[in-house]
A = this chain, B = another copy of it.
Amino acid sequence: MKYELDQAQELSAQIAQAIRDGIMEGSLIVDQRLPSESDLCEQFQVSRPTVREALKRLAAQNLIRTQRGASGGAFVNRLSFEDAYGQQITTSTLLLSMNAVSFETACEARFALERACVALAAQRRTPDQLAAMRAEIHRQSQPGLSDESFCASDVAFHRALVDAAGNPVMSYQLAGAVEAIEPLMNMITFTARKREKIVELHTLIADALEGRDAATTEAVLGQLAEHTLELAREVARMRSKSA
């Protein structure tokens, strides 16, 4: 591990960066134990609270985990896809809400990226994944479902579609795009007729995937994108009228 600290930064940030560099560069490997807090104090010549703040920074990124007790300490964490999903979703959600990203932009990104999965999904979809998609379709067609539940099911459907591509890197990359849009989708009220149309398109997608028909899947996904955008525009029109 290197111990070169930049000036003009907070000590805890410098120490965190030094350790982070060690992890990214590979000199600290997964499950390796970091020196104890008091050892780190000596090595970096700082007090324990400062070291601890540095470690908490790393813990916030899931880069390390800590264990109490005799053989405890801080260990380099294997960043799991699970952890990475979570971070992605948090970041994407905040990014969208804080930067006033328009529904159009977010929606465009989502469907464009999803389209990238279709060709692979048509080849590789498993029966399980198809079943998951059909289950969500069934949920969506139940009357009396709240808008929130409908959107949550929509997200689940699309997650299943993405997962069907069988590429964990893509699933991870798209998790953010798909989940982060949910709050925006929740602002759209889906009337019964609109829901019917969406369910119909979802069904067509599932059918096309079952038949391993990439071209049709892609076409229907395009229709769904168009339909979703149209709904959003309609809602926007109604709002501006009533205002």
Residues of A within 8 A of B (CB): 12-13, 16, 20, 23-24, 26, 30, 49, 52-54, 56-61, 63, 78-81, 84, 87-88, 90-99, 101, 105-106, 108-109, 112-113, 115-117, 119-120, 165, 167-170, 172-174, 176-177
Contacts and interface: CB of A to CB of B under 8 A. Distances in A.
A54 B52 CA distance: 11
A169 to B, nearest CB: 4
A39 to B, nearest CB: 19
Contacts of A119: 112
A52 B80 CA distance: 27
Given A60-B16, A120-B108, A169 B173 contact: no
Nearest to A165: B112
A6 to B, nearest CB: 16
Instruction: Summarize A's interface: helix, strand, loop or mixed.
Output: helix
Contacts of A169: 95-96, 101, 105-106, 108-109, 177
A61 B90 contact: yes
A88 B90 contact: no
A59 B57 contact: yes
B108 A167 contact: yes
Copies in the complex: 2
B79 A98 contact: yes
Nearest to A58: B60
Contacts of A117: 112
Contact of A112 (B60, B96, B116): B116
Given A56-B56, A116-B115, A169-B105, A84 B95 contact: yes
A94 B105 CA distance: 29
A95 B63 CA distance: 10
Q: Name the 9 nearest CB pairs between A and B, nearest first.
A: A57-B60, A109-B169, A116-B116, A60-B60, A112-B116, A109-B170, A53-B56, A79-B94, A56-B56
B109 A24 contact: no
B98 A30 contact: yes
